[in-house]
């Protein structure tokens, strides 16, 4: 993901992370989740309040592949989409390490127990529709799941508990 301004044109890159979460038990109660990316390099030339990353919900046509028309489906709206995580300031990102974005209650609600969780990531200038103030680049390079020969794929870490027993309350059963 990046936002770049060369003095004339803006270049914006968005990331999609479809994740098969169908192995979660139906009775799983999700208490926390983080989306983790292994960062290999970064540029933070603008370094203002919008130089952040955040998780958004995606709605691409296929979780197996992307097409050009999916670009605008990285977020509930092109401008000011609902955020599913706390923001991560690019300045605070550690290179050559995993960096985590903590999902908020909205983002946790996007986790599917029956299929694929569709999330993506955007940079703050992009999702806030705020022009980068300098000719320069805010960019984060990270390992992608499509790269072969690496053990640094992005991953979704989900903390949950499973209710294994039943309790009776007013003749209703809770599982």
Q: Which tokens is 30 given?
A: 């999700």
Q: Which residues pair with 103 in a beta bridge?
A: 85
Average pLDDT, the chain: 84
Nearest Cα neighbor of 143 from 4, 17, 11 is: 17
How many C-beta neighbours within 10 Å does residue 102 have? 17
pLDDT range class, residue 8, cuts 50, 70, 90:
confident
Across the range 77-103, mean pLDDT stands at: 94
Dist. CA 28–CA 111, nearest whole Å: 11
Task: With beta carbons less than 8 A apart as the criterion, state whether 70 and 23 touch.
Answer: no
Q: Which tokens is 27 given?
A: 């009775």
Give the pLDDT confidence of 41-51 residue by residue, as tens digits: 998 888 888 88
Nearest Cα neighbor of 121 from 57, 41, 33 is: 57
Q: How far is C-alpha 59 from the geometric centre of its chain's CA atoms? A: 13
Q: pTM to 2 decimals?
A: 0.86
Nearest Cα neighbor of 39 from 106, 80, 90, 73 is: 90
Give the pLDDT confidence of 119-159 residue by residue, as tens digits: 999 998 889 888 877 767 788 878 777 666 667 888 999 99
Across the range 103-118, mean pLDDT stands at: 96
Q: Which residues pair with 30 in a beta bridge?
A: 160
pLDDT, position 33: 95
Dist. CA 155–CA 65, nearest whole Å: 18
Sheet with strand 15-20: strands edge to edge: 15-20, 116-123, 52-57, 88-89
pLDDT, position 67: 86
pLDDT, position 167: 41
pLDDT, position 2: 61
Res 172 pLDDT > 60: no
Across the range 10-18, mean pLDDT stands at: 86
Of the ranges 16-20, 97-101, 122-126, the best mean pLDDT one: 97-101
């Amino acid at each position: 993901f990046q936002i770049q301004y060369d003095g004339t044109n803006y270049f914006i890159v968005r990331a999609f992370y479809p994740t098969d979460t169908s192995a979660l038990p139906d009775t799983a109660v999700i208490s926390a989740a983080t989306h983790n990316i292994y960062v290999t390099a970064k540029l933070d030339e603008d370094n203002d309040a919008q130089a952040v990353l955040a998780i958004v919900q995606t709605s691409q046509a296929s979780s197996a592949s992307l097409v050009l028309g999916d670009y605008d489906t990285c977020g509930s709206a092109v401008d000011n989409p609902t955020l599913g995580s706390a923001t991560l300031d690019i300045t605070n990102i550690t290179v050559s390490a995993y960096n985590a974005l903590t999902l908020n209650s909205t983002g946790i609600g996007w986790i599917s127990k029956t299929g694929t969780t569709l999330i993506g990531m955007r940079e703050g200038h992009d999702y806030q529709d705020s022009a980068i103030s300098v000719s320069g680049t805010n960019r984060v390079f990270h390992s992608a799941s499509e790269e072969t020969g690496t053990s640094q794929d992005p991953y979704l870490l989900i903390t949950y508990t499973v209710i294994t027993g039943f309790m009776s309350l007013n003749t209703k059963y809770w599982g």
